[in-house]
Structure 1
Amino acid sequence: MLSHQLLRNHAGIVLIGDYGTLRLLNEVVRDVNERSPLVRDKEGAFLVLAHDARKAYEQQREIIQPPEHFEEIGVRYGVAILWPVLLPQQRMLRESLAWIDHGKKHQAITYALEAVIEEALREDFGSREPAVTEAWQRLDPAHLGFFERLHTRGALFCSWTKSQRRQLLPSLLWSFHPLFGVGAGAYPFGPNEQVTPEDLAAWEGYEWPDPKL
């Protein structure tokens, strides 16, 4: 079973699971990464989700002891993932299943990941959750260069304050679209809550700042 803990400052979540669940996530993501025609860079950002799951169950990230008096829950393992990384990864996983033969274990772990994300978004963003969820669900990994756009968007996100992340994450997700910035009124955000091409260009070639987790 997957669960989560929120990171500080609307940064993302610690994705938590037992050994078997995280190993299944690793196996499914690796399989999808290898066979999906949507994944063009087989060593890219989507595969990082499998690496993160493996690092977690190999006890190289967070080790979460069971609560006092509830030892039957057992030890669980977690890994921190930022929102602008996890949300595109999940969309790649979900959309890829439409293109490849897959079994019930693929659907089971995909639904489990989606359920954790939905719960975490409601908890983290409150009244802003519908806007974040709409932008997340509209991410289309079939577009060329989908994950290549992650570098500048991740860097910009890490540079933001807590309040900026809450307000601007939907616009940041919309900016993954290849027509981002083309034409007035293309995105449903006002002038004070809009990520611009200039914002992203300023982070081209720069490392991501400390996200202050």
Structure 2
Amino acid sequence: MLAYRLLKNHAGLLLIGDYASLRELHEIVHDVNERSPLISEEDGPFLGLAYDARKAYERQREILQPPEGEEEIGVRYGVEILWPVLLVQQRMLRVSLGYLDHSRRHQAITYALEAVIEAGLREDFGAQGQTMVDQWLRLDPTPDIFEKLDSRGAMFCSWSKAERERRFASLLLSFDPLYEHYPVCPDGRRAPESVSSRELEQWSGVDWPDPCW
């Protein structure tokens, strides 16, 4: 079973699972990575989800002991993942399944991951939770989406907690190929919280700052 714990500053979540669940996620992501027509880079960022899951169940990230008196829960393992990274990875997983022969194993772990993400977004962003969920589900994982993630991830890491709360929905919206054609203010400018093309260009190819998670 997968679970989560929120990280600080709206940065993302600690993805938590037992050994079997994380091993299953690792195997399914590898399978999809090898067969999906949407993935052009064999050893690219999508496979990072499998890497994170493996590092967790190999006890190289966080190890969570069961609460005192509830030893039956067993030891679980966790790995920190930034919101924009996880949301793009998950959408690539979900949409790729539509192009592939797959089993209930694929669906089960994909739904489990989606349930964790949805609950995490709603808890982390409160009144804006539904907006974040809507923007996440709108992400269209075109083959170049991970190239777009490079600048958007760097920008996200540079933001304060307050900026992430205000601007994360706009950052997710900016993955849309038609984003530049969306309505702007009457004077031709976007709202202050919107992500501009100029900002994205400034963050392209830049090392990601410490996300303070």
TM-score, normalising length: structure 2: 0.95
The residue number in structure 2 matching 1:176 is: 175
Equivalent residues of 2:184, 2:191 under 8 A apart: no
Gaps of 5+ in 2: none
Instruction: Tell me how far 1:164 sits from its aligned partner.
Output: 0.7
Alignment of 1:1-213 (within 5 A): 1-141=1-141, 143-182=142-181, 184-185=183-184, 191-213=191-213
Write the distance in 1 (CA, Å) between the matches of 2:125 and 2:114.
Answer: 16
Amino acid at match of 1:83: W
- For residues 22-53 of structure 1, what are the alpha-carbon distances to aligned partners after superposition, in whole Å with 9 as ceiling and x for unaligned? 00000000000101111111111110000000
Count of matched residue pairs: 210
Instruction: Tell me how far 1:192 sits from its aligned partner.
Output: 2.3
Gaps of 5+ in 1: none
Write the distance in 2 (CA, Å) between the matches of 1:18 and 1:8.
Answer: 23
Write the distance in 1 (CA, Å) between the matches of 2:60 and 2:70.
Answer: 24
Amino acid at match of 1:10: H
The alpha-carbon distance between structure 1 residues 183 and 118, as it changes in their structure 2 partners (threshold 3 A), is closer
The alpha-carbon distance between structure 1 residues 29 and 23, as it changes in their structure 2 partners (threshold 3 A), is same
**Secondary structure, in 3 states, of the residue corresponding to 1:46?**
helix
Amino acid at match of 1:100: L
Instruction: Tell me how far 1:185 sits from its aligned partner.
Output: 4.1
Structure 1's consecutive aligned runs of 4 or more residues displaced over 3 angstroms after TM superposition are 182-186
Amino acid at match of 2:152: R
Identity %: 59
**Secondary structure, in 3 states, of the residue corresponding to 2:4?**
strand
Equivalent residues of 2:39, 2:143 under 8 A apart: no
Equivalent residues of 2:2, 2:116 under 8 A apart: yes
Equivalent residues of 2:59, 2:77 under 8 A apart: yes
Write the distance in 2 (CA, Å) between the matches of 1:144 and 1:116.
Answer: 25
